[in-house]
A and B are shown apart, each in its own frame.
Chain A
């Protein structure tokens, strides 16, 4: 074939798939990227989908209106509840506070769930979030699911235990340098032993409260003995 007969295709206006549909699908005011986008003349969205023109564009706009209305309504409801479900939130809320909000929010719709979660709430205030034996059935047999941590308490007094350990720590040799109270002069809790998961057994933490221990909340970090990095936190509230 001679040079004269050869067909030359025009260079493509772009060389990769276009992933920014912002100018097509979302109204400019709502889209932070829309000002940056410069549409190439004749450019089409991905071949899989229809060209968003005419009624097509209207239907997508309609869908955006529906979802935005829903998001706005949800945001207002969240604000009425005194918390914002839509924003990233720090993990500083207390378990009990969050639980109470959850209970009040769902009280209208799911009474059966409420009973179960209500029981959990009572359990957490009376005996701690991690009650030994919670993974056992009515006959005392372990259920099929083995929770990551068993908490064993040796204490003559009621207490709440909160344990927040990173995932995949159950096989590590964990330890705590002691749980401190913010009240000066109160003895730290040091009789805390961690038993890693072994041969399918559940990992365990044993807390011994000495006689005469002062009331209060004691908190501290849980570290890996090998390396000393922090693997979680622990808190014990003695009543």
Chain B
């Protein structure tokens, strides 16, 4: 079997590792009171499923260095719990209405209960990280907690940048600013952190983690741009509200590019629309922004950048994996750059 050429290695491995993570994760979701007001809410987003990309990256990164799945499972659970916790808070901050094809948690239960459920999920993610002491030893468990706090800080910084740009209608944003924001807001939790802690576990802390920052950044940035693209052009399988980013006034690469190419009149109009709070931004406003993006072919521009970043990710992976033996996990990581830009 030519494992490197296996076309479905990404989906099959994500399914396999996703199942393992989900089973382990369920052990951390309490079934007790107050269920209606807390634990049912806590279990809601994890129950809805998801791609399980983050835990799969973690387990695969551990496995390419020879670890067993079980070695990385607790950390994979923590990653998924943290991811879901941040989703709850992100949805509130962004005023999002749909998540994984269903109403967001705060739409179902109100903002206070949703915030509380997000807080609880964040704290619950600590439990598997602490349990790592028993399987990985104290030093490695603490290294993983160090990585976790670093990731949490980056996430908060990135989220603050994006929210601040919207809140204060900042529009003098370049591609570098966007990439810096995405690096922090998306890449750390989605790709860099899972890869780094996976490599830590697999190598028992002996491998240089810097190459995983580069690989994770290019992979995560391509992933985010593709996600922004899907928000404009995807069908109902997407699971989030179409044009949601434009409704929220998010500074996507498409919007930044279109704004950069606009005439003075168009810029004035876009600035006025983006200065409005979300609830006052009309469907016509959103359509106007969308037309502007299409007029300047900014979707194609963003798609090209995503492709190039995926190419850079593949290049970085080829450097860091040159000495590693062939395996299903290596093939999986090698295919990930293609997968992130091909997914629908």
Binding site for B on A (CB under 8 A): 19-22, 24-26, 31, 33, 45-46, 48-50, 52, 56, 59-60, 62-67, 69-71, 74, 85-93, 95, 98-99, 101-102, 105-106, 109-110, 112-113, 116-117, 120, 129-130, 144-145, 147-149, 162, 164-165, 167-168
Task: Establish whether residues A67 and B308, one from each chain, have CB atoms under 8 Å apart when the complex forms.
Answer: no
Q: For the complex, is B213 an interface residue (Cβ under 8 Å from A)?
A: yes
Q: CB distance B312 to A21 under 8 Å? A: yes
Contacts A50-B307, A89-B143, A98-B139 given; 18 further ones with Cβ under 8 A? A20-B315, A21-B311, A21-B315, A48-B310, A56-B304, A59-B309, A67-B217, A67-B218, A90-B205, A98-B143, A99-B142, A109-B152, A113-B126, A116-B123, A116-B126, A129-B138, A145-B27, A145-B131
Asked if A88 contacts B307 (CB within 8 A), the reply is no
Residues on B lying within 8 angstroms of A by beta carbon are 27-28, 68, 70-71, 119, 122-123, 126-128, 130-131, 133-140, 142-143, 145-146, 149-150, 152-153, 156, 175-176, 179-180, 183, 203-210, 213-214, 217-218, 221, 304-305, 307-312, 314-316, 318-319, 338
Measured in the bound complex, the distance between the Cα atoms of B79 and A104 in whole Å is 23
A89 and B206 alpha carbons, distance in the complex (Å): 6
List the B side residues contacting A116 at CB < 8 Å.
123, 126
Question: Is the pair A22, B142 in contact by a Cβ cutoff of 8 Å?
Answer: no
Among B122, B135, B183, B311, the residue within 8 A (CB) of A112 is B122
B73 CB, nearest partner CB in chain A, Å: 11
B205 surroundings in chain A (CB, below 8 A): 88-91
A22 cross-chain contacts in B, Cβ below 8 A: 315, 319
Selected contact of B183 from candidates A67, A106, A165, CB within 8 Å: A67
Closest A residue to B175 using CB positions: A62
Contact, CB under 8 Å: B134 / A49: no
| Given A21-B312, A60-B309, A63-B179; A102-B142 close (CB under 8 Å) | yes
A167 touches B315 (CB 8 A): no
29 examples of A-B residue contacts, CB within 8 angstroms: A19-B318, A21-B314, A49-B314, A59-B309, A60-B311, A67-B183, A67-B213, A67-B217, A69-B180, A70-B183, A74-B150, A85-B209, A91-B137, A91-B204, A98-B142, A101-B146, A102-B146, A102-B149, A109-B149, A112-B123, A113-B122, A129-B133, A144-B28, A145-B27, A145-B28, A145-B127, A149-B134, A164-B137, A164-B139
Q: Are A168 and B68 in contact (CB under 8 A)?
A: yes
Residues of chain B contacted by A45 (CB below 8 angstroms): 311
Q: From known contacts A65-B176, A91-B205, infer whether A60 and B312 are also in contact, taking CB-CB under 8 Å.
A: yes
Known: A49-B307, A88-B207. A148 touches B312 (CB 8 A): no
Q: How far apart are the CA atoms of A56 and B308 in the complex, in Å?
A: 7
Q: How far is the CA of A144 from the CA of B24 in the complex (A)?
A: 10
Q: Is the CB of A25 within 8 A of B312?
A: yes
- Beyond A63-B312, A112-B119, whether A167 also contacts B307 by CB under 8 A is no
Number of contacts between A and B (CB, 8 Å)?
168
Tell me if B71 and A46 are in contact (CB < 8 A): no
Instruction: Tell which of B136, B152, B315 touches A26, judged by Cβ atoms closer than 8 Å.
Output: B315
> Least Cβ distance of A64 to chain B in Å?
8
Please judge, given known A-B contacts A52-B308, A59-B308, A149-B134, whether A66 and B145 are in contact too, CB under 8 Å: no
- Bound-state Cα–Cα, A10 to B44, Å: 60
B217 touches A63 (CB 8 A): yes
B217 contact set on A, CB distance < 8 A: 63, 66-67, 70
Find the A residue at minimum CB distance from B128.
A145
Residue pair A24, B315 in contact (C-beta under 8 Å): yes
Residues in chain B near residue A71, CB distance under 8 A: 210, 213-214
Give the residues in chain B near A106, CB-CB below 8 Å. Answer: 149, 152-153
Q: Which A residues are CB-close (under 8 A) to B126? A: 113, 116-117
Nearest A residue to B127, CB-CB: A145
Q: How far is the CB of B317 from chain A (nearest CB, A)?
A: 9
Q: Pick from A25, A56, A95: contact of B138, CB below 8 A.
A: A95
Given that A22-B319, A62-B176, A70-B180 are known contacts, is A46 also in contact with B142, CB under 8 Å in the complex?
no
